[in-house]
Amino acid sequence: MRAKITYAVAAAVLVVYFVLVGSRGVMLIETGTALTVAFGMAVLILPVIGLWFLWKNTQFVRKANRLAAELDAEGGLPVDELKRTPGGRIDRDSADEVFARRKAETEDAPDDWRSWFRLAVAYHDARDTPRARKAMQRAIALHEGKPVQA
């Protein structure tokens, strides 16, 4: 729940920021000189890109959470079996061991969104965020019945 509140607050702050930046862009355009209009148009592009990114990221998180809820209802969520350092960080060797099992599971069932979901969690635990995101995107695509790129 805390993560959802944090995400909502961060998203709200970003939206306020985008509105403020957008209003500055409009003010620059209203000034009417060629230079300020050019700057104003450039400034307006930033909130548009930011809002698009925020929307796409929010959709990704919602879909991933839906998969997690479905997997939890089936009793298939990965169990946290990772060893931790005294400071609470995940032990690298432990994460690598779990990752190897998850990877083998995914290779055995490449069309199963559940195995891709668990692989995404293993990538995340191994601190490989880009691959975790790609694995989760693949899990989402498989779950939705969309074509998946190799």
CA dist 149 → 62, 120, 138, 141 (Å): 22, 16, 8, 10
Residues 91-115: pLDDT tens digits?
A: 888 888 888 999 999 999 999 999 9
> What does the chain come to in residues?
150
CA-CA-CA-CA dihedral for 69, 74, 76, 81, to nearest 10:
80
Write the class of the CATH domain 92-144.
mainly alpha
Residues 59-75: pLDDT tens digits?
A: 999 999 999 999 999 99
